[in-house]
Structure 1
């Protein structure tokens, strides 16, 4: 675990006739994972924008109370859960498997336990978890990992994706934190790395890995969400409500200002803006919506048997663990899984308006402040050729799964007169002869 950072902000009830002493402040401790970037609406972005503090300031003016917010940053969900069990963190954000472990560890405590109260980001097909190999690896399919070493954080969603996708193929799983596994992959200590957002994208963008398996191929939802200590929620319902309202503020900001949001998260985490934008930008791999959708609830129920099978939990009543009461007071939930953040604008290469998220992409050129929209993968290739400028990066949707990926790291195929991108070489080979990005650029001009 990397060094814990904590920032405390004291919010006074402005305008109160008799201010409270600092010792009388209502403490609120929020645990989050800055580099797990589809929790940003309840963590990194929320903290950077100050929405929670603003909301509590307004609450303080109504109640005459002071609220003291402490932000604690961790690499994974496990230490957040440990601190919540110890009563030292009130509200936490984490991935689906850590959420389930969190709930299982406290379910015997009844009203003294924890509850899941909202979703941050999710992918309805499972693309937030991926398996990567070294750039020079000859391995093209998961079955070729048989008898080899794969790094994963045991009990994480990345581990679950690996086990599900392998379908019984035997591998040796090295239980490692993401950064340790990334180093092991580069050093040859393991043959593959199975991890959650944003590690796969980060490693591929840095040309330190290539994608072997897209978790979207499983078509099983993955998600991150917010959990609260029930005693805190009972004692401070107004504070929890303001947290959820602030999360909604951050979600709206991300949808309306995707590039600015990505730049904010990049500055706070040290991740490349291009990587954050891959996941959190328009048509991004992560869809941000607070709703506790039935499809996501079912995914959590389906995840429980796996966690039981590896001994991480004894079991969990997911329906009892989820409490949508507080969220209902803040926003009307929806069952819609369409990403509300979409690529729009005019495609200058093909002379059309960008409208279909299933084919839309973006090209980001050096020296330009923002990416340019493209209606289709072929239009994107034409745009890159016609512009002639150095490409910073580009984004296209996988022709099968729809997963947004780096165009220059995709595998391209000419099929039925079209040029189609795929996230993995194995998927591309099922459709024809594989082209590199450079070859696809040449082909679109032929």
Structure 2
């Protein structure tokens, strides 16, 4: 408690001792391809946001800054460089973030988890895919099969929980092998693996590229997940105002994403090669995950769950004191300096909001559970529709006009997560209304209960057009 009071003092009031023309290194480890880390790395770097907030008065009057950026494909090597003192900040998921804390402790040091960047209290973002030609429709059909996963990732934790929920022994009932996303993509195309579990954005990216199909979403495990930012505690003690500046840059990056998700989805594609259509799945309104920077209890819980899983994997023989590892004083200070109410946002669980009119009727969209969207090639903004039926009707007209379509999105009727509509399943009710689902089994269950039929994307589109 005393330590937190002292640190709070550092954040809220500048020290009187001058830095005396010191050159201050700000070394930031990013994961550009892990697109929901964008507000903690890629956008700050590409838009030059950090420079806007770095202090140049008080003890920093004569200081100069040496900002270094280094990109990683996963959290583990980023952690290695943080522990080695080569990096000051890092962005990663809950699972590798917990490992970061353990690794620092093992080295006799300490790191701090200072902010969430994007997350889902249900667990969306992680997922499991199968080759596009596979007959597998659900996780329950993978008993005895080979499932690859980036080891010690947040997706690994999801996979272990999902396997346990099936009542399976992870050492006997499935063959779990370590495989990085870039290797898994080739393996899926060559049908060398039965399934692949991964983190953002690969469970959406691989299906979007046409060689995989999603059969499990992390929300089915109902286990919170997120990506966030960490800092070396010694660095934070020495330069608390710099830590706040970094987070203020992240706050602005989040605001920019909210205001123009299409524009910044295009920028992320330019930098990473990950299609803007997939980036929009996460950063657009009602996205797969919600951009979030506050420490909701569910995200604290996710770190605790990750630590327990690390122990199970024998990757940690010690726990972490969450009350000292998770430190929200810097993000609270960043919110205050940016004129935002941290307490209000902490209590806000609403998905990234959609305030739009139906592209056909022009009327405000009020029922967000039925929203569908179309991104027309060459158009800077995504078109919004009040229902899948409305979107399918528009799709037919757009095709007759010779328009090319980049992506079609629909909100899952049960979980509420945004789906690629051409990968989804649909079910009618007795009155012919259309509902949307990730899994065929979910659609079948709904259709049986409502006296309807199960349709794939092609059939659902044709039905909507025929009923106009």
TM-score by length of 2: 0.86
Mapped partners of 2:59, 2:265: distance in 1: 32
Q: Say which of 409, 419, 423 aligns to 2:438.
A: 423
Aligned to 1:413: 427
Aligned to 2:415: 401
Aligned to 2:450: none
Cα shift at 1:371: 1.3
Aligned to 2:13: none
Aligned to 1:25: 23
Query: Greater shift after overlay, 374-383 or 33-42?
Result: 374-383
Quick check: 1:343–1:360 contact (8 Å CA) kept in 2?
no
Mapped partners of 1:101, 1:149: distance in 2: 25
Mapped partners of 2:393, 2:320: distance in 1: 52
Mapped partners of 2:324, 2:76: distance in 1: 21
What is the CA deviation profile of residues 241-289 of structure 1, one whole-angstrom value per residue up to 9, with x for unaligned ones?
Answer: 1101111111111111111111111111111111111111111112112
Mapped partners of 1:348, 1:254: distance in 2: 22
Aligned to 2:373: 362
SS in 1 for 2:370: coil
- The question of 1:248 aligning with 2:259 is answered no
Alpha carbons of 1:90 and 1:60: their partners in 2 closer, same or farther (altered >3 Å)?
Answer: farther
Aligned to 1:154: 151
Mapped partners of 1:343, 1:361: distance in 2: 11
Quick check: 1:214–1:424 contact (8 Å CA) kept in 2?
no
Aligned to 1:311: 314
Cα shift at 1:380: 1.8
Q: Say which of 115, 121, 142 aligns to 1:124.
A: 121
Aligned to 1:236: 239
Once the two structures are superposed, the pairs formed by residues 278-297 of structure 1 within 5 Å of their partners are 278-297=281-300
Once the two structures are superposed, the pairs formed by residues 14-163 of structure 1 within 5 Å of their partners are 24-56=22-54, 63-107=61-105, 112-163=109-160
Unmatched runs of 5 consecutive residues or more in structure 2:
1-19, 336-341, 448-452
**Number of matched residues?**
425
SS in 2 for 1:220: coil
Alpha carbons of 1:311 and 1:58: their partners in 2 closer, same or farther (altered >3 Å)?
Answer: same
What is the CA deviation profile of residues 144-174 of structure 1, one whole-angstrom value per residue up to 9, with x for unaligned ones?
Answer: 1111111101221111111211223321011
Mapped partners of 1:71, 1:283: distance in 2: 31
Unmatched runs of 5 consecutive residues or more in structure 1:
1-19
Quick check: 1:103–1:316 contact (8 Å CA) kept in 2?
yes
- The question of 1:442 aligning with 2:462 is answered yes
Once the two structures are superposed, the pairs formed by residues 185-204 of structure 1 within 5 Å of their partners are 185-204=188-207
Query: Greater shift after overlay, 260-269 or 29-38?
Result: 260-269
Query: Greater shift after overlay, 159-168 or 127-136?
Result: 159-168
Alpha carbons of 1:348 and 1:219: their partners in 2 closer, same or farther (altered >3 Å)?
Answer: same
SS in 1 for 2:427: strand
What is the CA deviation profile of residues 212-236 of structure 1, one whole-angstrom value per residue up to 9, with x for unaligned ones?
Answer: 1111111211100011000100111
Quick check: 1:274–1:393 contact (8 Å CA) kept in 2?
yes
SS in 2 for 1:358: helix
Once the two structures are superposed, the pairs formed by residues 258-407 of structure 1 within 5 Å of their partners are 258-314=261-317, 315-331=319-335, 332-333=342-343, 334-339=345-350, 341-388=352-399, 389-407=403-421
SS in 1 for 2:33: coil
Alpha carbons of 1:199 and 1:326: their partners in 2 closer, same or farther (altered >3 Å)?
Answer: same
Cα shift at 1:400: 0.8
Quick check: 2:31–2:72 contact (8 Å CA) kept in 1?
yes
Mapped partners of 2:443, 2:425: distance in 1: 6
Quick check: 2:263–2:380 contact (8 Å CA) kept in 1?
no
TM-score by length of 1: 0.91
SS in 1 for 2:73: coil
SS in 1 for 2:446: coil
What is the CA deviation profile of residues 337-384 of structure 1, one whole-angstrom value per residue up to 9, with x for unaligned ones?
Answer: 534632332213345212333322211123322211111222222222
Cα shift at 1:301: 1.7
SS in 2 for 1:238: helix
SS in 2 for 1:420: strand
What is the CA deviation profile of residues 392-413 of structure 1, one whole-angstrom value per residue up to 9, with x for unaligned ones?
Answer: 2111111111110111111111
Q: What is the CA RMSD across the aligned residues, in angstroms?
A: 2.0
Quick check: 2:117–2:293 contact (8 Å CA) kept in 1?
yes
SS in 2 for 1:347: coil
Aligned to 2:8: none
Alpha carbons of 1:71 and 1:430: their partners in 2 closer, same or farther (altered >3 Å)?
Answer: same
Quick check: 2:287–2:351 contact (8 Å CA) kept in 1?
no
What is the CA deviation profile of residues 28-69 of structure 1, one whole-angstrom value per residue up to 9, with x for unaligned ones?
Answer: 100010000001000111111111122227569962210010
